[in-house]
Structure 1
Amino acid sequence: MQGINRCPPVKIFVGLLFAFALNVMVFTQIYGQEAVDSNIISYTDKLAYGVDLSTDIDEFIVSGPDTENFHLVTNNDVKLTLRLNYKFLNLSFGFSPGFLSGNDDDELKGDSSFTEYQVNMFPGRFVQNVFFRRMKGFYVENTEDFVPLWQEGTDPYLQFPDLKSIEWGGYTGFVLNEKFSLRSLLNRQEWQLTSSGSFIPALRYNFTKLANTFESGSYGKENQVDLRADLGYYYNYVVSPKVNIAPYARAGIGPKTSKYTLDGVVDKNTYFVSDYGGGLQLGYNTDQLYMGIRGSFNGYTYKDESDNTISNNLWHGLFYIGYRFETPEKLKNLF
């Protein structure tokens, strides 16, 4: 896409990694090293590798009193995520391989790309997440509402191949119940032996940059800043010593500021955003092997200055599997 410099995500995450490593040490000095509850098994001294295979429906919907609903989606339904966990370090890298079924229908839906980096950390009872996400290439899922006589499976969808979304963000949360392990659900570095749940308040923040070059040659970009206060409840139901079921639900509210520029003309606005989500996870665990499935839904909605309702809904289903290894002595000494 013209007019946008490519973001160096690896350099950004090296900087973020050092910053949050320092953050972890500060938290440790302030709160001390908390002992793991006797009903929680810790695997933080193990070097763990994991793989997620997920299928996503990520849709942007614009609806209004005087307009047709407009559904924008990307052509990369299936994603792979590689994970590395050791001590306080929890890294993941996600991408969308073009050879997988669901990502290869480029002739009708266009070419899409997806990249995501994430870091999770757990200083004491805090949870800290930071991420970078880049998507490019969208098509209109409901093309039949805009093109008469359009035939699904034969005619190409309306496409925005240069539409790009770049997002930096994260959240900071606190686990109110010290007997509940959020770490066992997010990174599988712990495992609970007794059922427990907890409310988790969090502050979510992100910066999004949207940009597109239109067929007419016009160039538009929008910078968005979101800040939301969030409250969720997570429960870990222990079916057996090796199997758990974990539902959760959350909701949040907060402001969104937007700066839209089209051919040099600037429009600034502030909106009130509602954020929501929920899901269910089924997990299996041994001291070495762990695996499971999870289904979740996350979204937000707000109204713009034209009274249009803007929504982003993400339906997410995944299968994860990983293995824990004994840590090499050189790595132990380094940490």
Structure 2
Amino acid sequence: MKYLMLLGLLTLVHVLRAQSDIEDKYEHKQDTNYIASYTSELDLTTRFYNSVKFSRYVLRDSRYEERLRYASNENLIIGVGVSYRRATFNLGLNFPFVNSWDEKDKGKTKYLDAQIHYYLDKFVFDAWLSTYKGYYLTNPHETTTQDEMDSSFPIRPEIRNTNFSFNLVRIFNSEKFSFRSAFAQDEWQKKSAGSFLLGMEYNMMFSKGDSSFIPFNTKETDFFDGYEINKNAIVNLGVSGGYGHTFVVAQHFYFSIVATVAFGGSFTALESYDDTQEDIDGLTFNVNYSTKVGLGYNSETFQVGLATVQTFMTNHTPLDHSKITENPGNVRINLIKRFVLNKPIRLPILNKILD
């Protein structure tokens, strides 16, 4: 596993250095008929937003239609943020009195979810570190023998999922297609345009429970070959490709959709809650896909929009017929106001980084 982690980090460093060299050598020019940019020293973008972040963990046995679907109890976040010279800072707060109403039915989820979305003209870099503790089984009647008259959700407060992931994507038509418009809100896509995408991604996923993820009353007794999995560690590296397009109506109303698919290799390790079952590990393959969707109204000084980001990381395991899918994501509503400053903001450390 350590060699795969090292390979991923070295690849990222090499790609980022190459990106920096290319952009220093060739000045990028956007087509102003298609894109208006608000990333100069005199532009300030402010936002008020509310967001819902979530994590899902799915166990699948390809011999059966039913899947074990675990989900975090979603929380509403309310926050504010600013963007200046391509750097974005957001501060969100979780209000317990808003989010505690369904904890009796779905349990309580504690989480840390830090995301970085860095959008250059020709490249997009996404990274996130998340850890969620506390899940519930969303479909007990499909997968277990739970009484049909019992409408409760089995709660697993000790299940924890941790993800560290990053991906780097090259935008081929960056002169006319803006990633930042819908997802960073400091540009304005004024005409419809799209672009093919090519990149790489690296993921590490760790899951742990206080007992087997497979409920004792699962309908299929040989689900996951009867392996009482309660821990897994997955590291994968892949190459991705896809397409993004923004449809613009009357210059101001937009609908953006970006989809990428990645294929790669994985190292997967499984551990059983049953001491009589040996640990299993091996090299497998994975198929990951990500979607980003944005829609709303955009103009020179104001923007309101909805943006969603989801990633589905599906890994085959060394067990026959079995797959594990991690699905982190978020949905956000943004209210944006842009200002023109009288003079640049003097923050030496920030300006040195951005220069």
Question: TM-score, normalization: structure 2?
Answer: 0.74
Q: Distance in 1 between matches of 2:180 and 2:68?
A: 38
**Structure 2 counterpart of 1:100:** 98
Any idea what SS the aligned residue of 1:248 has?
Answer: strand
Amino acid at match of 1:174: R
Greater mean deviation of Cα atoms: 292-301 or 137-146: 292-301
1:238 and 2:248 are equivalent in the alignment: yes
**What displacement does 1:328 show?**
7.7
- How many angstroms does 1:124 deviate by? 4.2
| Alignment root-mean-square deviation, CA | 3.4
Alignment of 1:281-292 (within 5 A): 281-292=294-305
Is the 1:83–1:93 Cα contact (8 Å) retained in structure 2? yes
Please tell me whether the aligned partners of residues 82 and 93 of structure 1 are also in contact (alpha carbons under 8 angstroms): yes
Q: Matches of 2:187 and 2:177 in 1, distance apart?
A: 10
The Cα offsets for residues 87-114 of structure 1, whole Å up to 9 and x where unpaired, read as: 131344667543335x531122211123
- The one-character-per-residue Cα deviations of 1:250-299 (angstroms, maximum 9, x if unpaired) are 22211221233458964322221122344542221233321112456542
Corresponding residue of 1:320: 334
Is 1:209 matched with 2:206? yes
Answering whether residue 36 of structure 2 is matched by residue 41 of structure 1, we say: yes
* 1:176 counterpart residue number: 172
User: 1:33, CA displacement in angstroms?
Assistant: 4.1
- Is there any run of 5+ residues in structure 1 with no aligned partner, and where? 1-18
Residues 330 and 317 of structure 1: CA distance in aligned 2, closer, same or farther (over 3 Å): closer
Encode CA deviations 1:216-270: one digit per residue, 9 max, x unaligned.
xx99543221222111211122212322222333222112212334589643222
Distance 2:270 2:89 in 1: 33
Conserved? CA contact 1:93–1:116, under 8 Å: no
SS at match of 1:331: coil
Instruction: Determine the structure 1 residue equivalent to 2:154.
Output: 158
Q: Deviations over 1:146-205 (max 9, x none)?
A: 25336455x4x2222111112222111111012211121220111122221101112111
8 Å Cα contact 1:27-1:123 kept in structure 2: no
Q: Is 267-276 or 45-54 further displaced after alignment?
A: 45-54
What is the distance in 2 between the residues matched to 1:311 and 1:200? 24
CA distance in 2, matches of 1:311, 1:219: 14
Residue 107 of structure 2: which of 103, 110, 126 is its match?
110
Measured at CA, do residues 206 and 84 of structure 1 come closer, stay the same or move farther in structure 2, by a change above 3 Å? farther
State the match for 1:331 in structure 2.
345
TM-score (norm 1): 0.78
**Secondary structure, aligned partner of 2:300:** coil
Report the Cα distance in structure 2 between the residues aligned to 1:185 and 1:119, rounded to whole angstroms.
Answer: 16
Give, as a single letter, the amino acid of the residue that structure 1 aligns with 2:181.
S
Counterparts of 2:266 and 2:333, CA distance in 1 = 33
Which residue of structure 2 aligns with residue 252 of structure 1? 262
Q: Give the paired residue count.
A: 310
Which amino acid counterpart does residue 185 of structure 1 have in structure 2?
A
Aligned identity (percent) is: 20
- The DSSP-based 3-state class of the residue aligned with 2:345 is helix
Q: Counterpart amino acid of 1:284?
A: Y
